[in-house]
Amino acid sequence: MQKLDNLSFDTQHIWHPYSSISKPSPMHEVISAKGVRLTLKDGRQIIDGMSSWWSAIHGYNHPRLNQAAKQQIDQMSHVMFGGLTHQPAIDLARKLVDLTAESLQYVFFADSGSVAVEVAIKMAIQYWMAQGYTNKQRLLTVRNGYHGDTFGAMAVCDPDNGMHNLFDKVLAKHLFAPAPRCQTDEDWHDGDIKGFRSLIQRNHKKIAAVILEPLVQGAGGMRIYCPEYLRQVRQLCDQYDVLLILDEIATGFGRTGSMFAYEQADIYPDILCLGKALTGGYMGLAATLCNNKVAQGISADGKGVLMHGPTFMANPLACSVACESLAVLTRSNWQKNVQDIEQQLLTELMPYQNLPLVKEVRVKGAIGIVELNQEIGDEMGWLPAFIVKQGVWIRPFRNLIYIMPPYIINAEDLSQLTSAIGKIIEALTEKMATKI
């Protein structure tokens, strides 16, 4: 039997995220990465505008993160967290408790963002069960949200326009308010919270928690909304005795301009989900933090053991790299870097607002989004190769072209990314015109 080359074997045997085995997406093989550049097998270098799905905030092959991984692997790469503990997990928990809101004092380590959301949902439901409110098992969220690919997380993603409507009949049924429309506090009007307020007023006796992505909704539509909406939600949760879960897996660790997005609203959650950038993109690790009310409340009936425990929970290798990643972040000038990226994105992306194919341009921190008037169809199989030809890596989906570059990117490389977006829009315009 003839041995297949790498890409042929990949096409025939490997399932990639959101892909079809019968109609596989074109692939480019990466052989190394450094800074903001990925090196392909054919020798080309491309600027990564995605930070490996928003996680590689320091870029690639960072010497301090490399060293942290090398030092830890010589001690132990993993040990079970049941009945045992270790220094990297303790150090990381200390850092997370120090970085987050003062009320968030308890840390549960998970191995992915989706699992962090699952744990948060379990925390909320177990809390109310321990209080004797066994009917409080539903969640309230907003449309256009995305919280992960596991079943509990899928159930709080947008049920109609999200990526998981295929599973609608088997998912738990939750409550969905209209997505907020105000992009800044100056745009705020009470009508934005009206639908949410009505749902929590009518259903609070069966709602365990509200779950939201603060300020920026990620894969559900890359929508930006104002801090005042979060303030209103926090107030309503307090008024109607409902827990607040904030999913900062995408927005945490500086992406929106503050360490955590909730800081811009001057509020804090009862439960907080973190992930993605936690290890600087080196390996999977996530965390769910909660306040004393939740942690002690779960045990209020005398038997409340939090029912979750991943095999690779608090992996020492991942925790060591995460500790170093947070040290690199907090000792850097990350705030100015993100502000500079935001200003350049505004300057270079906003002109695209005038193009016929463009519906809206949005920028928040180190996030730049161009929303098109129509979806990029599955027939656009030429697009990945076209993007790579521009010397960049951008991964559009549906009707969105967006970038979330590493914080270390310089102005010249960022301009290449924003220029490539213009070329993508131009090429899409021409292709769509030939179909009419």
Please write the tens of the pLDDT for every residue from 374-389. 998 766 789 999 999 9
The tens digit of pLDDT for each residue in 9-41 reads 999 999 998 888 888 888 999 999 999 999 999
Do the beta carbons of residue 228 and residue 252 sit within 8 Å? Answer: no
- Catalytic annotation, pick one of 95, 122, 136, 276: 276
Q: Residue 25 has what pLDDT?
A: 81
> What confidence category does residue 194 fall into, taking pLDDT thresholds of 50, 70 and 90?
very high
18 is catalytic: yes
Beta-carbon contacts of residue 340 (< 8 Å; ≥ 6 apart): 411
Beta-carbon contacts of residue 66 (< 8 Å; ≥ 6 apart): none
Domain ranges for the chain, please list them: 6-61+333-435, 65-330
Length of the chain: 436
Check whether 436 has a pLDDT greater than 70: no
- Cα distance between residue 244 and residue 254, in whole Å: 21
DSSP state of 184: S
Do the strands 392-393 and 45-48 form a parallel or antiparallel pair, or are they unpaired?
parallel
- Cα distance between residue 404 and residue 3, in whole Å: 38
- Catalytic annotation, pick one of 60, 146, 268, 282: 146
Spell out a b/e string for 295-323, using b for 16 or more CB atoms within 10 Å of the CB, else e.
bebbeeeeebebeeebebbbbbbbbbbbb
- Catalytic annotation, pick one of 18, 34, 41, 173: 18
Check whether 1 has a pLDDT greater than 70: no
The tens digit of pLDDT for each residue in 272-307 reads 999 999 999 999 999 999 999 999 999 887 777 898
The tens digit of pLDDT for each residue in 44-96 reads 999 999 999 999 999 999 999 999 999 999 999 999 999 999 999 999 999 99
- Catalytic annotation, pick one of 247, 270, 282, 364: 247
pTM of the complete model: 0.96
Check whether 114 has a pLDDT greater than 90: yes
146 is catalytic: yes
Q: What is the CATH number of domain 65-330?
A: 3.40.640.10
Do the beta carbons of residue 188 and residue 180 sit within 8 Å? Answer: no
Q: What is the mean pLDDT of residues 207-231?
A: 97
| Topology, domain 6-61+333-435 | Aspartate Aminotransferase, domain 1 (3.90.1150)
Check whether 266 has a pLDDT greater than 90: yes
